[in-house]
Structure 1
Amino acid sequence: MEKTEISTVLTRPVVSEFLGTLLLVFFAVGSAVLAGEYIGTFGIALAFGFTLVALAYALGPISGCHLNPAVTLGMLLARRLTLRTAAEYWIAQVVGAIAGSALLFLVARQVPGLQTHASFGTNGWGDRSAVHINLGGAFVLEILMTFLLVYVWLSVTHKIAVIGFNGMAIGLALATVHLIGIPLDGTSVNPARSIGPALFAGGAAITQLWLFIVAPLIGGALAAMVHQVTHPPHEPVLVADDAVPHEPAAQSD
């Protein structure tokens, strides 16, 4: 295989992570920004879950369809991908989330009377929470919700998992945490998903952003640790740092 062909193959997972995160932010966060008053919390939660299910089966065989730095961290700690691949995924996810937020911002600006500042699908506590949850409550909540999501992700992509249903399980887990978390802090469980909209909302969305980066990463790390206790060892990645990982979210080993 020629060098250019190798380069193309090795970048496909990274491009998939960029594209998938862009689409997740545009359609899922967009459901809250553009249609939230019509579909409510339940509809927004389903939009997040359904979007992830669709992308898991579309992009899972290419990159694993993480679309979330917390999931990638969990996979890294579970030794299912290399540090270099994880770093490439993190960059692609954040850039994809920003691009998706930019497209959402452009569309929202075309809707008369629709605010493109303030919340804009961002996360928050205190006055930025529908129930005024405090900082500590939001921090613990994000850890627990991300723990559930990443633990399910690691479990259904494990070699002992039932084949063919993992994309559905992951989507249901994401919908579940949104049903619980939307009234509390808007539900992050995904640092990239929080970073993108916050950059366009500005103000308090930026000053509170740190929590929705740190807490989900802690939750993802804890999920990886607990998963190693409850599940048999998964074969570690024994490939070069620049090799393509094979941990699809839409198919099991």
Structure 2
Amino acid sequence: MTTEIPAPPAVALRYAAEFVGTFLLVLGVIGAAIFSAAFDSGDGGLNIGILGVSLALGLSVLGGAYAWGPVSGGHFNPAVSLGLAVAGRFDWRLVGGYVVAQVLGGAAASSLIAAVAAGGPDSFLNDALSGGFASTGWGQLSPGGFSLGSAFLVEVTTTAVFVGVILSVTSHRGNPTTAPLAIGLSLTLMALIAIPVSNGSFNPARSIATAMCGGQVAVEQLWMSLVAPTLGGVIAGAVAVVISRGHRTASAAPAPPHLVPAEIASVR
């Protein structure tokens, strides 16, 4: 009796999963930042602060990975798709469609958040728009007032670490049951590091989604939030290739011969 191997999901279904997963990610993290973060207590928020937004980001990715990861792989991020492709773990022919689906999903989420904010009290929406709409960047858009160099460096580094974790826990050595948990928690950790510096992007689709509503400064600084995470993802993919080749070389090398007693004696 033969066991039939299930066919991979249709390409259109994979794109749909990436759209919905990215929608959830942006809805979770930007919704929390706009409606609940309240870095000062005068704007009516719930004061969840940086920790709360970081948890919202990690939980959004965790839920999306468990829900739609089996369909599309659960990238929800152009930097992840590129990193996996560079590492040889994802078909380059699908990268463009994944990126389009991710950008559209993020844009839909930020549009919904803006629509909800429009029904807020007084000038809630105007304040959110003039404040950058949780866009990533440096200087005016950095919660801590950090420079372009600092924001660029933290985005490259944290994205590379995050994509590296994904590559590791989804490899043949990883546990597919717990992989989404590791990915969500690692993203939470990276957000705790990066939000004070750059507002924590790691994701060009998320950056485009917020820059749509963030005003002129957000649009002018968008290039950093596209280039730095993409570079981080590519670096992680390239490092994974080097490590994989090293493992293959080590496994292919002949084992050292066992020393017989006479040889041991001669060594001594």
Q: Which TM-score tier does this pair reach, normalised by the shorter chain?
A: 0.7 to 0.9
TM alignment of 1:51-90, pairs within 5 A:
51-90=60-99
**Number of aligned positions between the proteins:** 229
1:129 maps onto 2:136 in alignment: no
Q: How far is the alpha carbon of 1:119 from its aligned partner?
A: 1.9
TM alignment of 1:90-239, pairs within 5 A:
90-112=99-121, 113-114=123-124, 115-117=127-129, 118-231=131-244
Using the alignment, how far apart are the partners of 1:176 and 1:36 within structure 2? Answer: 17
Q: State the secondary structure of the residue aligned to 1:210.
A: helix
CA deviation string 1:180-235 (max 9, x = no partner) = 1111110000000000111111210000000000000100000011122334689x
Using the alignment, how far apart are the partners of 1:31 and 1:221 within structure 2? Answer: 29
1:29 maps onto 2:36 in alignment: no
Given that 1:109 and 1:116 are in contact with CA atoms closer than 8 Å, whether structure 2 keeps it comes out as no
Q: State the secondary structure of the residue aligned to 2:36.
A: helix
What residue in structure 2 maps to residue 245 of structure 1?
A: none
Using the alignment, how far apart are the partners of 2:79 and 2:27 within structure 1? Answer: 19
Using the alignment, how far apart are the partners of 1:28 and 1:191 within structure 2? Answer: 14
For normalisation by structure 1, the TM-score amounts to 0.86
CA deviation string 1:166-192 (max 9, x = no partner) = 000100111011111111110000000
- Residues 87 and 233 from structure 1, CA distance in 2 versus in 1: closer, same or farther, beyond 3 angstroms? farther
Provide structure 2 residue ranges, at least 5 long, that are not aligned to the other structure.
1-6, 39-46, 248-268
Provide structure 1 residue ranges, at least 5 long, that are not aligned to the other structure.
1-5, 235-253
Given that 2:37 and 2:49 are in contact with CA atoms closer than 8 Å, whether structure 1 keeps it comes out as yes
Using the alignment, how far apart are the partners of 2:240 and 2:88 within structure 1? Answer: 12
What residue in structure 1 maps to residue 19 of structure 2?
A: 18
Using the alignment, how far apart are the partners of 1:156 and 1:171 within structure 2? Answer: 12
Using the alignment, how far apart are the partners of 2:17 and 2:245 within structure 1? Answer: 29
Given that 2:133 and 2:214 are in contact with CA atoms closer than 8 Å, whether structure 1 keeps it comes out as yes
- Residues 133 and 61 from structure 1, CA distance in 2 versus in 1: closer, same or farther, beyond 3 angstroms? same
Using the alignment, how far apart are the partners of 1:146 and 1:10 within structure 2? Answer: 26
Using the alignment, how far apart are the partners of 1:101 and 1:163 within structure 2? Answer: 31
Given that 1:138 and 1:185 are in contact with CA atoms closer than 8 Å, whether structure 2 keeps it comes out as yes
Equivalent AA in structure 1 for residue 26 of structure 2: V
| More relative contact order, 1 or 2 (CA 8 Å, 6+ apart) | 1
CA deviation string 1:76-122 (max 9, x = no partner) = 11122222211100000011111111001101111113223122111
Given that 1:45 and 1:175 are in contact with CA atoms closer than 8 Å, whether structure 2 keeps it comes out as yes
For normalisation by structure 2, the TM-score amounts to 0.82
Equivalent AA in structure 2 for residue 216 of structure 1: P
